[in-house]
Amino acid sequence: MRALVQRVTHARVEVAGALIGQTGPGLMILVCAMQGDGTAQAEALAAKIAKLRIFKDDAGKMNRSLLDTGGGALVVSQFTLAADTRSGNRPGFSTAAPPDVGERLYHHFAQALAALGPKVETGKFGADMAVSLTNDGPVTIWLES
């Protein structure tokens, strides 16, 4: 699985103008299941992100995790993280998991992250979503399981 993690002061996602998920201080996580991924990859990625030390400690150093800060997470499916741009100008997405697998693993990832303690809200798989956030830092990290 792939994820793009952003440390945020707040983030929200809307579908058709209706708010469906949000978080205050914490993480905005865009996630994509890749071909061959399973629940083990979703769980490993959730554990890694929950423990990722990208929040400031009292000395101002990035030394605290989401679990340490008690922050929340907004998890949004993002199949375009599978983009292959090696040739031509139009990205290919053939390495993304099929939609049924991607949806199952997206939900499994969100549940695995929530089981570790953070409050987790989600977008809607496959929907046309409007996502807004304020990146704190900015801090943006690319992860693969």
**Amino acid letter, 13:** V
Numbers of helices and strands, H then E, in the chain? 3, 8
Report which secondary-structure segment, H or E, holds 55: strand 55-56
Rounded (5°) CA angle 115-117-123: 70
Q: Judging by DSSP bridges, how do beta strands 26-32 and 72-77 pair with one another? A: parallel
How far is residue 59's CA from residue 47's CA, in Å, rounded to a whole number? 25
How far is residue 122's CA from residue 143's CA, in Å, rounded to a whole number? 19
60's CB contacts (< 8 A; 6+ apart) are: none
Q: Which are the catalytic amino acids?
A: 78-80
